[in-house]
């Protein structure tokens, strides 16, 4: 680890502890040359998830892209940012835990819709209208009627 003050490459670890989320390890270090202290964070390296889009093109999974889609669906709705970040974390964990490194975008959309349905029905319908690409008012009404029917059962 290179010292941010003098650039020396040798340091010793003074303190080590997990962060609040348990996702990273915080280490306090001391440079063996200038004796100044600095903090580093150690993160588990993950294998990237590749998203296969509808046009068969591929791109790396981007949690911010998913979060932005959820934010748009929840615009002017009583859904907190923490809730949306939790949903994105849950979806990302589901994808990381699957053995597939290439995941169809439709699966990510399906997971997002399932999570949104439990949180806010209006946001769910908004997300579904984009995800399922409702062609007209009839397909939109079919989805609403299905929700009403499932809710009454």
3-50 per-position pLDDT tens digit: 999 999 999 999 999 887 777 899 999 999 999 999 998 887 677 899
CB 63 within 8 Å of CB 94 = no
Q: What is the mean pLDDT of the chain?
A: 88
- Best-predicted range by mean pLDDT (8-12, 123-127, 128-132, 146-150): 8-12
Q: How confident is the model at residue 144 (pLDDT cuts 50, 70, 90)?
A: confident
Write down the pLDDT at residue 88: 92
Write down the pLDDT at residue 135: 66
Rounded Cα distance between 10 and 29, Å, is 10
66-92 per-position pLDDT tens digit: 999 999 999 999 999 999 999 999 999
Asked if the model's pLDDT at residue 153 lies above 80, the reply is no
């Amino acid at each position: 680890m290179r010292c941010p003050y003098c650039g020396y490459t040798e340091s010793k670890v003074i303190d080590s502890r997990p962060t609040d989320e348990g996702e990273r390890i915080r280490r306090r270090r001391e440079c063996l040359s200038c004796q100044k202290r600095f903090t580093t964070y150690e993160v588990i390296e993950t294998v990237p998830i590749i998203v296969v889009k509808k046009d068969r093109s591929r791109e790396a999974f981007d949690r911010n892209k998913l979060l932005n889609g959820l934010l748009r669906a929840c615009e002017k709705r009583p859904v907190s940012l923490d809730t949306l970040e939790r949903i994105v974390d849950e979806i990302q964990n589901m994808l990381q835990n699957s053995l597939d490194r290439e995941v169809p975008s439709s699966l990510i959309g399906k997971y997002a819709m399932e999570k949104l349905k439990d949180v806010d029905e209006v946001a769910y319908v908004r997300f579904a209208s984009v995800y399922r690409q409702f062609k007209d008012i009839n397909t939109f009404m079919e989805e609403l009627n299905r929700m009403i029917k499932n809710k009454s059962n």
